[in-house]
Structure 1
Amino acid sequence: MSTLTQPSSSQTGVDRAQRIEDALSLIAPKWTTWVVQTLAQARQPMQVREIARQLPFVSEQLVGKRLAQMHANRLVTRGADFRAPYQLSEFSTSLAPVHQALANWSHDHLQLLPGGVAVAERVEDAVRRLNLRHTTAVIQALDAGPLRVVRIGEVVGLDDPYTHQRLVRLTADGLVTRTGPRHGDPYTLTAAGRALGPVYAAVEHWTAPTAAALPAATPTPAVIRTRSALPARPDGIRTAAALRRSPTAPSGLFSHAPAPQPRVPATITAQSAPARNR
């Protein structure tokens, strides 16, 4: 087993879950994937207006705001002059396997998107389902088998109302389901939830070289709310303690070695405009 798939003694399950959510939060803001793939296809620095010209369904102002946030999160770089063009950072150029894993998972396991949807749209929809705080920890807990709401809260370190709220969202997103019709019946992962191993492996592999210096996502309140990469809170401490005590802490979802993935065909991103009602 590689060091990627086997945590050290100082790395708890919640540490890995939080690191994955922090990484996903960097690419979660809407249009981030579209901008990354536009720059990747151009293979040269681009001005804001040039990027916006390639994304006619996004305003130039919004493209500028997104690029500023991506610059703060080290996904793009530029010269000292505020008029200097943007280009992908080394951190961002290695995103292709993550995009491919997310797109493959969406295509194979989510029936909520129509066929012919662009790769970038599939990636952003998939990240929207996965990046909310404590989502990865809940999925990790359920990977060991069906659990009731109270037990999930104990394992993840959350109170019952918050646990229920997260499970409602995960159910709506097609990742978990109840094992029976009664209110107290346990929850379990759906086929889509059980298939997340390659996605998590790709995200961990992407962040592994720079995990210690992983930037916290910088939210842009007027455009998007980023719920991951928050400062450590007492519930995080409780989560770590609960996972250390729980026999369900080791998770099969985190035991997949990252298989080599082909680069996302960037030309696909220009062939299909995203839904406008997001």
Structure 2
Amino acid sequence: MPAPAQPSAFSIAAIDAQRVEDALARIGPKWTTWAAMTLAQENRPMRVRDVAAQLPFLSEQFVGKRLATMHADGLVTRDDDRRGAPYRLSALGTSLAPVLRTVSDWSRAHLPHRMAEAERVEDALRRLRPRHSTAVIQVLDSGGGPMRFVHIAEKAGLDNGLARQRLLRLQADGLVARTGPRHGDPYVLADAGQALGAVYASVEHWSEPVALRRAASVPRPAATATRSHAGVPLGAGTDGARTAAALRGSAAAPNVMFSHAPQPQPRVPAAVTAQPTPGRGR
């Protein structure tokens, strides 16, 4: 049975799982972090071909599609809709910096791999992003001890098939563990899963301006959104205080995507060199 880990300083049980998963669906798609990192490091409007030149392991066509998706999700912006108009990080995209640093720090502590910084973040987001994974981790965190599969499925509101898939994926990704080798042995959170409180809290905090912006239906001024975490509007009450606390100690200059940023020209990820890359179609 895995040794118990120290509890997270941030409560996993207190987060809004649906809000976290909606936010992860925006920031988690593969290559999103690489593109955001490139725009942050260059700190200037960049055309698709300019971003692709910094990511030589991706085709220009693929980079264009990724930036278009990021534009639809509000992470990047363009001055106009002309074909070929350059992209730059939006205020919302820039405000991701503390979130990505928190994810990176969690991965560095609990998923030790030799990776470039953006690759490390994307590997971590790949583990966290699958739908309903947050709910399963939340159930295990609040269960008070090992839980059998059927109880996890019931409390997470999932059918048995989906719950089994999620548990197997989370186990393979090192976030949950079984207490024994036999079929039916209960599950517990692994150390990496128990330490997710700060990650979830920072993602939830980042998503609050998204919800507020949707409700108001007007863009938030860039000067407000690009300030450090203390300047991001928060919800009222304890939720705002709790999520703001998740970002303390990780503030940095607005255009620095990571506190320990890699060189402007990122290396080709090992995972990419081991498999075919997207074609260089135009």
Instruction: Report the TM-score when normalising by structure 1.
Output: 0.76
Match of 2:249 among 257, 260, 267: 260
Identity %: 56
Equivalences for 1:1-278 in 2 at 5 Å? 16-78=16-78, 79-111=80-112, 113=113, 115=114, 117-144=115-142, 145-213=145-213, 257-258=245-246, 259-263=248-252, 264=258, 265-268=260-263, 270-274=265-269, 275-276=271-272, 277=274
Between the aligned partners of 2:170 and 2:52, the Cα distance in structure 1 is 33
Between the aligned partners of 2:244 and 2:149, the Cα distance in structure 1 is 27
Instruction: Report the TM-score when normalising by structure 2.
Output: 0.75
Amino acid in the other structure paired with 2:205 = H
Which aligned segments of 4 or more residues in structure 1 are displaced greater than 6 angstroms?
none
> Residues 204 and 104 from structure 1, CA distance in 2 versus in 1: closer, same or farther, beyond 3 angstroms?
same
Instruction: Give CA deviations for 1:66-121 in whole Å, capped at 9, x if unaligned.
Output: 0111111111111121221001111000011111111111111013x3x2x11100
> Residues 261 and 193 from structure 1, CA distance in 2 versus in 1: closer, same or farther, beyond 3 angstroms?
same
CA positional deviation for 1:181: 1.9
> Residues 16 and 211 from structure 1, CA distance in 2 versus in 1: closer, same or farther, beyond 3 angstroms?
same
Between the aligned partners of 1:156 and 1:89, the Cα distance in structure 2 is 35
CA positional deviation for 1:208: 1.6
CA positional deviation for 1:256: 9.0
Between the aligned partners of 2:161 and 2:198, the Cα distance in structure 1 is 30
Instruction: Give CA deviations for 1:135-166 in whole Å, capped at 9, x if unaligned.
Output: 00000000123211110011111111211111
Between the aligned partners of 1:201 and 1:101, the Cα distance in structure 2 is 10
CA positional deviation for 1:271: 4.3
Cα RMSD (Å): 2.4
Amino acid in the other structure paired with 1:257 = A
Report if aligned partners of 1:52, 1:60 keep a CA contact under 8 Å in 2.
yes
How many positions carry a matched residue from both structures? 228
Amino acid in the other structure paired with 1:194 = Q
Between the aligned partners of 2:263 and 2:187, the Cα distance in structure 1 is 37
Instruction: Give unpaired runs (5+ residues) of structure 1.
Output: 7-11, 216-253
Report if aligned partners of 2:55, 2:266 keep a CA contact under 8 Å in 1.
no
> Residues 182 and 213 from structure 1, CA distance in 2 versus in 1: closer, same or farther, beyond 3 angstroms?
farther
> Residues 187 and 256 from structure 1, CA distance in 2 versus in 1: closer, same or farther, beyond 3 angstroms?
farther
Report if aligned partners of 1:40, 1:266 keep a CA contact under 8 Å in 2.
no
Between the aligned partners of 2:32 and 2:70, the Cα distance in structure 1 is 8
Report if aligned partners of 1:120, 1:269 keep a CA contact under 8 Å in 2.
no
> Residues 201 and 164 from structure 1, CA distance in 2 versus in 1: closer, same or farther, beyond 3 angstroms?
same
Instruction: Give unpaired runs (5+ residues) of structure 2.
Output: 1-9, 216-241, 253-257, 276-282
Between the aligned partners of 1:267 and 1:189, the Cα distance in structure 2 is 32
CA positional deviation for 1:255: 8.0
Report if aligned partners of 2:205, 2:244 keep a CA contact under 8 Å in 1.
no
